Structure 1
Amino acid sequence: MNSKLAKIIIVFLLAFFTGVNFVVFPALGTAFTDSSLFGLLSSQFGNLFIPQVICIIISCLGAPFLVNKWGPKVVLAIGLLLMIISTGVLWTLQFFINDSSLLFPVLMILVAFTGSGFGLCITTLNPLAASLFENNKSSAILILQFLVGLGTSTAPLMMNLIGNVRNWMYVPGCIFILVSMAFTAFLLLKLEKETFFELPGHFKIPPKLWLFFVTIVLYGCTEGTFGSFGAIILKNQGLDNNKASLGLSLFWGGMALNRLLFGIFSKNKDLSYLFLFSPLIVAGLLLFLLLYPNVNSIVLMMFLIGFFMGSIFPGSIGWGTVEFPTLSVVVSGYLMAANQVGTGIITNVLGSLSNQTNIIFQFLIVCMILICLLLFYLKRNSKIKEAF
């Protein structure tokens, strides 16, 4: 298959399944901590994600150079295979669940495989999507990230649908089959090693790109706060378990909706100032929560915070891709790694501060103001109008 339509369909389908695969381990948290199944301690379950974050950062930083050497098809194939192996082996653990001494080390390895596969895939898919829409690179990346986000919400939904936690094996089993089918279709594609993926013979990271990196580390701190500790923070604000879960779902839903709308409307509308002011709007919403912690308004605020945060990360990748066309894969890899660095930092720090809601909100407000200032600084003599 070499038609552009086939490439577009399969590339965006792979983005969705990459998102699904990425959260299979968090989605199975209840099974992993169930004493009658895997029996992991809460601390062990938390430690599972250390290799995932490390492997994502390493693979995101290494992927640009691998794509430059081998081309996007080989790197994507390796990433997909790592994720397929991870879910396949995870499914087989149902037969060895009584051998508790091996379970945790095996799970650590599988999580590392998932993280490495995710990093290789997503770093390559971002510029690949941009290359298929030469005149709408940023929109393509925003919609691709929307599909990744949609995928991350699917695995927990699958866990809810199967009902009994003892049926956990159906989740990795279904994902294994679906990703294997998408992988087979992908192998039929002809993806050449185009100039879009080639790096200059000798290059150094431009100072402006380092500023993008710092911006996304700060963004990763904010996203990681809500992603990892959102439910705990909401419960500290007076919400019950159901409303806390609803607030967290609305946060991710708002983020996904923003990416979709930005991807659709930035083709014809100038959304650059909405993008630039989004962090400031988020800071304002957080300040409102800090000053008026009203239980009835928190859930709505979570949706709005997610909505106005939605375009910051993929929009920065799209903008950076337009700004540095010869380094498009480096932009994707380094900013993906930056997001994980921010997430990794905040999840380690917040472990002891998760009950200090006011301090957390104050820190996030400062992060958002700094992001806004950095984006306006980056706007000077830039190609932001082409990106949005």
Structure 2
Amino acid sequence: MRTGGGTGAGAALVYGTGLAQGLALVCFPAASSILTAPTGYDLSPSRYGLMFAPQVVLAITAAALTPVLARRWTLQRVLVAGLVANLLAMVLLVLSQAPAPSGGAYLLLLAATGALGFGFGSCVSALNTFAAALVPGREDRSVLTLNVLLGLGTALAPMLIAVLLPRWWLLPVGVCVGLVLAIAVAWRVRLDPGPAAGPTAGTPKAVLPGRFWWYAAAVVLYGITETLFGNWSSLYLSGQRGLGVATASAALAAFWACVTVGRVIVAVLPARIPATAVYLLLPVLIVGANVAVSGASTAATAVLAYAAAGLACSAMLPLSISFAGREFPRLGATSAGELIAGYQIGYGVAAFGVAPLMAATGLALSGVYLVGAAVAAVLAAVAAVITRSGRRPDPSVPATPPVTTATRSDVPERP
């Protein structure tokens, strides 16, 4: 195995895997019309929603276990395990067509989403750590670039499914090819997780500092707001607003596309614009986007509101991971793993909590988006705490000189 952490091969592996992960992640929701159609899998709305339960549970589990497994195996082996799990998910999705529609097909889909959850939790936690170490001094930009490509995959998947119909299964087949290539490269190129990527086998488990939980709170709150936009747009626009499936699809596509565009914009911002200023602004924009979505009543306003939501959500998660990695450098993979787990908890709260909330309170989805605005307001307060005190050094790193960054000088340092 040859070293490639900071070389073109290492960067290609990290960024290429991010793109493949984004495509794999959205294969299932992008195929929702096939999964719920009477001529397809004929899943009821409740069975379709329940299908994602294994994904959420195993994504949280995998992200939380990443630092434990990294101490025993190395972080790169965790990445390979995640790639294999993603490959299994795509294979099961393709195979599920054979018995459809039947109970056997649904069991295959449950197994596939579970494998996808484990793959996502393992890969994204490892990839964020490897991305931060690709170019010392440019950690924010590297992590944002990774998340741009992951977002590009999520935006491309719905469009590719639509183009490939009725041979939609060609998308997971193509993702399988990319994942096999990534696994082959991962066995040949050694990625560098950085000089302080976290403890190795035989060292005690890292203790999470008290301030780390502010970052955890931020990603949980962010996960709730993002999922309200990403998972409930179709039901809201085609159901409550009566705007039709085409408008709902266009709005969702606009949301994911603008998430990617926003990450590109933040990644190329000049150094004189502080990353902390962007971090403080985004939750405020999410508040406004929730209010705009709640009031959208025409096709044009709906698409514009969801596009604005995508821009507002764009860099919140990658900046949270980057800032935490800089402030607590000794946590390494533990930091990324715990934050991805927190993000998945927020995803689960919004994915499975909206329907009970509506039943208990009588709120329509337009009202739920106003609740989302309140959640984003709390996120803004948490972001203020993080940025106000973010210069504190990691208390577990005595007398370690800070490493300056060429692109961002106002955020906590990472070695």
TM-score relative to the length of structure 2:
0.85
Are the aligned partners of 1:67 and 1:124 in contact in 2 as well (CA < 8 Å)?
no
Distance 1:263 1:66, change over 3 A: same
The count of aligned residue pairs is: 385
Quote the Cα distance in structure 1 between the aligned partners of 2:171 and 2:275. 39
Partner of 1:120: 122
Correspondent of 1:325 among 312, 322, 329: 329
| Greater mean deviation of Cα atoms: 323-332 or 376-385 | 376-385
Are 1:377 and 2:385 an aligned pair? Answer: yes
| Greater mean deviation of Cα atoms: 122-131 or 226-235 | 226-235
User: Once the 2 structures are TM-superposed, how far is the Cα of residue 238 of structure 1 from its aligned partner?
Assistant: 5.3
Unaligned runs of 5+ in 1: none
Are the aligned partners of 1:237 and 1:295 in contact in 2 as well (CA < 8 Å)?
no
| Greater mean deviation of Cα atoms: 1-10 or 89-98 | 89-98
Q: Which letter does structure 2 place at the counterpart of 1:344?
A: G
Give the 5 Å matches for 1:117-266: 117-164=119-166, 167-191=167-191, 195-199=195-199, 201-235=204-238, 236-237=240-241, 239-265=243-269
Q: Which letter does structure 2 place at the counterpart of 1:183?
A: I
Q: Which letter does structure 2 place at the counterpart of 1:32?
A: L
Correspondent of 2:63 among 57, 60, 65: 60
Partner of 2:368: 360
Q: Secondary structure at the match of 2:137?
A: coil
Distance 1:127 1:34, change over 3 A: same
User: Once the 2 structures are TM-superposed, how far is the Cα of residue 286 of structure 1 from its aligned partner?
Assistant: 3.3
User: Once the 2 structures are TM-superposed, how far is the Cα of residue 17 of structure 1 from its aligned partner?
Assistant: 0.5
User: Once the 2 structures are TM-superposed, how far is the Cα of residue 290 of structure 1 from its aligned partner?
Assistant: 5.0
Are the aligned partners of 1:214 and 1:338 in contact in 2 as well (CA < 8 Å)?
yes
Are the aligned partners of 2:206 and 2:334 in contact in 1 as well (CA < 8 Å)?
no
Quote the Cα distance in structure 2 between the aligned partners of 1:205 and 1:152. 31
- CA-based RMSD of the aligned residues comes to 2.4
Q: Which letter does structure 2 place at the counterpart of 1:233?
A: Y
Quote the Cα distance in structure 2 between the aligned partners of 1:66 and 1:133. 25
Unaligned runs of 5+ in 2: 392-408
TM-score relative to the length of structure 1:
0.91
Q: Which letter does structure 2 place at the counterpart of 1:87?
A: M
Q: Deviations over 1:183-234 (max 9, x none)?
A: 2222221235754322363532111111111121111111111111012223
Partner of 2:401: none
User: Once the 2 structures are TM-superposed, how far is the Cα of residue 153 of structure 1 from its aligned partner?
Assistant: 2.1
Distance 1:266 1:142, change over 3 A: farther
Q: Deviations over 1:295-337 (max 9, x none)?
A: 6433222212210221111111111111111113122111111
* Identical columns (%): 23
Quote the Cα distance in structure 1 between the aligned partners of 2:180 and 2:147. 21
Distance 1:73 1:30, change over 3 A: same
Distance 1:37 1:243, change over 3 A: closer
Quote the Cα distance in structure 2 between the aligned partners of 1:268 and 1:246. 35
Give the 5 Å matches for 1:82-121: 82-97=85-100, 100-121=102-123
Quote the Cα distance in structure 1 between the aligned partners of 2:275 and 2:192. 33
Are the aligned partners of 2:126 and 2:333 in contact in 1 as well (CA < 8 Å)?
yes
Q: Which letter does structure 1 place at the counterpart of 2:68?
A: F
Distance 1:376 1:297, change over 3 A: same
Quote the Cα distance in structure 2 between the aligned partners of 1:90 and 1:244. 25
Are the aligned partners of 2:218 and 2:379 in contact in 1 as well (CA < 8 Å)?
yes
Distance 1:267 1:11, change over 3 A: farther
Q: Which letter does structure 2 place at the counterpart of 1:153?
A: A
Q: Deviations over 1:249-272 (max 9, x none)?
A: 112122111111112226553232
Correspondent of 2:311 among 302, 307, 313: 307
Quote the Cα distance in structure 2 between the aligned partners of 1:86 and 1:240. 31
Distance 1:201 1:266, change over 3 A: farther
